């Protein structure tokens, strides 16, 4: 009987070899490679998580930029300046050319209080010289204008200044219903048509008595 020993390197031996027909490694060699792959996945996940955590905790860039560029609106308090006082317009009558050389006596031919004084005041504002106002010896229904001394055109100038028609000028021979005409070039007997010139009435900006 021949003795036989198993050669580990010989084909078909019983030693620890690998199956040539299968071409596979022993089953025990797969464990280390699987462990390495699992560890690599964990490491990648940790790195990604570390990178994402700071970005999740900080405010979005566009929000920060918007908050920095938002304009600031300032509400101003109401002005404490006192309101401007209303301006008062003073109306001055137009000066009549040549009026400063005409002396006018105005008498009241109505029962309207101070009509002669108001008429005289108006004539002075037009540039005429006036004598102290008085009352007529008779009542009249309309204003009458008398030329006493100087040119007759003076009576026309006075009548025009009062807004009267030429019919109010009396003939040169007519006598004014007044006690004295001393110092007057023209006598005006104020009638009801001049009631607008009594105290409390106003005159227009053109210097013509208002209607």
Name 169's bridge partners. Answer: 145
The reported pLDDT for the residue numbered 48 is 72
Tell me how far apart the alpha carbons of residues 16 and 26 are, in angstroms, rounded to a whole number. 10
The reported pLDDT for the residue numbered 63 is 45
Task: List the pLDDT tens digit at each of the 211 positions of the chain.
Answer: 545 545 544 444 444 444 444 445 545 555 556 666 776 777 777 767 666 665 555 555 454 444 455 555 555 555 454 545 455 555 567 999 999 999 999 999 999 999 999 999 999 999 999 999 999 999 999 999 999 998 889 999 999 999 999 999 999 999 999 999 999 999 999 999 999 999 965 444 444 444 3
Give the contacts of 199 (CB within 8 A, at least 6 positions apart). 113, 114, 117, 118
The reported pLDDT for the residue numbered 40 is 72
The reported pLDDT for the residue numbered 18 is 44
The reported pLDDT for the residue numbered 168 is 97
Query: Which domains are assigned to the chain?
Result: 99-197 (3.30.70.2390)
The reported pLDDT for the residue numbered 115 is 97
The reported pLDDT for the residue numbered 21 is 45
Give the contacts of 10 (CB within 8 A, at least 6 positions apart). none
The reported pLDDT for the residue numbered 37 is 72
The reported pLDDT for the residue numbered 43 is 73
The reported pLDDT for the residue numbered 30 is 53
138 and 109 Cβ atoms separated by less than 8 Å: yes
CA 166 to mean position of chain CA atoms = 51
């Amino acid at each position: 009987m021949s003795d036989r020993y198993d050669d580990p390197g010989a084909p078909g031996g019983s030693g620890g070899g690998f199956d040539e027909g299968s071409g596979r490694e022993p089953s025990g060699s797969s464990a280390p490679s699987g462990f390495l792959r699992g560890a690599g996945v964990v490491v990648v996940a940790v790195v990604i998580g570390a990178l994402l955590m700071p970005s999740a905790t900080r405010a979005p860039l566009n929000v920060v930029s918007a908050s920095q560029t938002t304009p600031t609106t300032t509400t101003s308090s109401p002005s404490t300046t006192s309101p401007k006082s209303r301006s008062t317009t003073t109306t001055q009558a137009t000066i009549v050319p040549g009026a400063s050389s005409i002396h006018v006596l105005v008498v009241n031919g109505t029962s309207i209080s101070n009509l002669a004084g108001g008429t005289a005041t108006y004539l002075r504002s037009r540039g005429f010289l006036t004598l102290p106002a008085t009352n007529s010896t008779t009542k009249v229904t309309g204003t009458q204008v008398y030329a006493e001394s100087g040119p007759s055109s003076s009576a026309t100038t006075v009548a025009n200044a009062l807004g009267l028609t030429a019919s109010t000028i009396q003939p040169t021979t007519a006598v004014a219903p007044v006690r004295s005409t001393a110092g007057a070039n023209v006598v005006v007997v104020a009638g009801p048509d001049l009631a607008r010139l009594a105290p409390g009435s106003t005159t227009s900006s053109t210097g013509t008595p208002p209607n």
